Amino acid sequence: MRRITHFIAGEAYSANTSRTSDVFDPSTGQVQAQVELADAAVLSQAVQNAVAAQRSWAAMNPQRRARVMFRFKELIESNMDELAHLLSSEHGKVIADSKGDIQRGLEVVEFACGIPHLLKGEYTEGAGPGIDVYSTRQPLGVVAGITPFNFPAMIPLWMAAPAIACGNAFILKPSERDPSVPMRLAELAMEAGLPEGILNVVHGDKEIVDAILDHPDIKAVSFVGSSDIANYVYGRGAQNGKRVQCMGGAKNHGIILPDADLDQAVADIIGAAYGSAGERCMALPVVTPVGDAVAEELRKRLVKEIASLRVGIATDPDAHYGPVVGAAHKARIENYIQMAADEGAEIVVDGRGFSLQGYEDGYFLAPTLIDHVKPDMKSYQDEIFGPVLQILRAQTLEEALSYPTRHQYGNGVAIFTRNGDAARQFASQVEVGMVGINVPIPVPVAYHSFGGWKRSGFGDLDQYGMDGVRFYTRTKKITQRWPSGGAVIDQSFVIPTMA
């Protein structure tokens, strides 16, 4: 059976350990590989190599680092098909969606190609008598990223590309459920000219996460995953003096006003709710129609569209989405569907019990639609992370606005309307980090930044964009004066000013 090792100092690295985790094919339910789980000793080996390589990488001028990023971008593009099939085989998302996963990460690599401009500091000539002040951005040293299973290409690239371009060495701890794409990306980075030790990949579980959070030579940690673990990572990392950014869970709402283009809204909601089997932190699992007439019409149209959806294996070109990632996750989703029924919600379309002929052991769930959900239901309060769409009805825009605002998560929200004033009011008042206006999945482009509020985001800086550059650098401020000869300035025991 195929064995997936670590990637340290530019090559595969095996710890020859008996601690491994099975990697499944979600379409068949069969084990296809085993991945080694690292311990603190493996991490120490990775950090040692990273420390040794980072200083000369940081000393390289930003334009040369950018050239490596350009070549890395070209290699990802030329290997897109291979990467997408590898990703789909371990995650389960359909090939087209896997290519989208890679493309959104690639866009951050493109952004990182502009690092010479992004690292420019500020300069003030004549801030005082013969005094100039300027600032520079310098890398932190060795930094780390801990990434989830649902985007095994995009999120590692969100973190690694800006971190490395800024002059840091990067240690990636990807999900052990789908580890092959991160390994392949590391190989491509080496082919692009990245020096040995600048990008390392270590696989593992909580043991390696704690080792990362405790290692004194790792200066910053970026994390994406569930909110409970994000809170843990943020607290432990900050307690150890690290810079930490953590993105957590989500429960994104789609608000449908009576004047919305319902045809477009339904098409958008179907894709946002069920795409990638709902395993996206920016999925849209709650729709809030305003008014009973809108709710009834929306429900009727959703039921019709759901009936046309095709669930299939990852390589089925006609499938709208594939299996969920694992058996335990499938059972968890099914439990939430039953919970909603027990709480008094109406299961309009039940996706449980679905079986795909020839792939009966795969982790498949058909689309589920639940109506008459109430805000006090646990099935609404929690993140389900599956192909489940809940209808939470409202009578006014103010009521609809209150639901995402009061929710524990504040990742994304969307409003569908033709009314610019209502959209502007909503965008201004809703307490959510990313807002879409007639856009169902409002993930910002690579030159902005990604991040939610409340229990969806821990830390002061978001992912990628200029926030990514700020996170992976620290600013040094220099105040300089060059003597020009002449009289010596008298000593002063007063705080210096520029008066």
Query: Could you report the per-residue pLDDT of 459-483, keeping only the tens digit for each?
Result: 999 999 999 999 999 999 999 998 8
Query: Could you report the per-residue pLDDT of 111-130, keeping only the tens digit for each?
Result: 999 999 999 999 999 998 88
Q: Which residues contact 151 (CB under 8 A, 6 or more apart)?
A: 101, 104, 105, 224, 280
From residue 80, alpha-carbon distances to 46, 77, 95, 100, 316 in Å are 28, 5, 10, 10, 18
Instruction: Select from 392, 145, 422 the least CA-distant residue to 286.
Output: 392
Tell me what percent of the residues of the chain surpass a pLDDT of 70: 98
Every domain of the chain and the residues it spans: 2-248+456-478, 253-437
Query: Could you report the per-residue pLDDT of 211-225, keeping only the tens digit for each?
Result: 999 999 999 999 999
The letter for the amino acid at 413 is V
Query: Could you report the per-residue pLDDT of 67-81, keeping only the tens digit for each?
Result: 999 999 999 999 999
Higher per-residue confidence, 1 vs 389: 389
The pLDDT assigned to 499 comes to 64
* pLDDT (average), residues 152-161: 98
- What CA–CA distance (Å, rounded) separates 15 from 5? 8
Residue 281 a catalytic site member: yes
**Pairing state between β 253-256 and 412-416:** parallel
**pTM as predicted:** 0.95
CA count, 13 A, side-chain hemisphere, 376:
2
Query: Could you report the per-residue pLDDT of 348-389, keeping only the tens digit for each?
Result: 999 999 999 999 999 999 999 999 999 999 999 999 999 999
Predicted confidence band of residue 148 (pLDDT cuts 50, 70, 90): very high
pLDDT at 485 over 80: no
The residue written with tokens 């493309």 in the block is 103
From residue 357, alpha-carbon distances to 45, 104, 312 in Å are 47, 33, 10
- What CA–CA distance (Å, rounded) separates 181 from 85? 10
Query: Could you report the per-residue pLDDT of 312-345, keeping only the tens digit for each?
Result: 999 999 999 999 999 999 999 999 999 999 999 9
The residue written with tokens 């206006």 in the block is 437
Do 164 and 185 contact (CB within 8 A), yes or no?
A: no
CATH number of 2-248+456-478: 3.40.605.10
**Three-state DSSP state, 403:** helix
Predicted confidence band of residue 244 (pLDDT cuts 50, 70, 90): very high
The pLDDT assigned to 24 comes to 98
Please give the full DSSP string across 243-269, using - where no structure is assigned.
EEEEE-----EEEE-TTS-HHHHHHHH
- What CA–CA distance (Å, rounded) separates 34 from 50? 26
**The two three-digit tokens of residue 203, written as one number:** 């696989």
Q: Which helix (H) or strand (E) holds 123?
A: strand 123-128
pLDDT at 233 over 80: yes
- What CA–CA distance (Å, rounded) separates 388 from 285? 6
Q: Whole-number mean pLDDT of the chain?
A: 96
- What CA–CA distance (Å, rounded) separates 372 from 436? 24
The pLDDT assigned to 486 comes to 62
From residue 408, alpha-carbon distances to 104, 216, 436, 467 in Å are 27, 33, 19, 24
419 DSSP 8-state letter: -
**Three-state DSSP state, 75:** helix
SS3 content of the chain, % helix, strand, coil (to 5): 40, 20, 40
Please give the full DSSP string across 336-376, using - where no structure is assigned.
HHHHHHHTT-EEEE--TT---TT-TTS-----EEEES--TT
Query: Could you report the per-residue pLDDT of 249-278, keeping only the tens digit for each?
Result: 999 999 999 999 999 999 999 999 999 999
- What CA–CA distance (Å, rounded) separates 83 from 189? 14
Catalytic residue among 113, 166, 246, 281: 281
Per the rule left: phi > 0, alpha: psi between -120 and 50, beta: everything else, 237 is: alpha
Please give the full DSSP string across 6-73, using - where no structure is assigned.
EEETTEEE----S-EEEEEETTTTEEEEEEE---HHHHHHHHHHHHHHHHHHHHS-HHHHHHHHHHHH
The pLDDT assigned to 213 comes to 98
CATH 3.40.309.10: does it fit domain 253-437? yes
pLDDT at 484 over 90: no
Query: Could you report the per-residue pLDDT of 173-204, keeping only the tens digit for each?
Result: 999 999 999 999 999 999 999 999 999 999 99
Do 405 and 318 contact (CB within 8 A), yes or no?
A: no
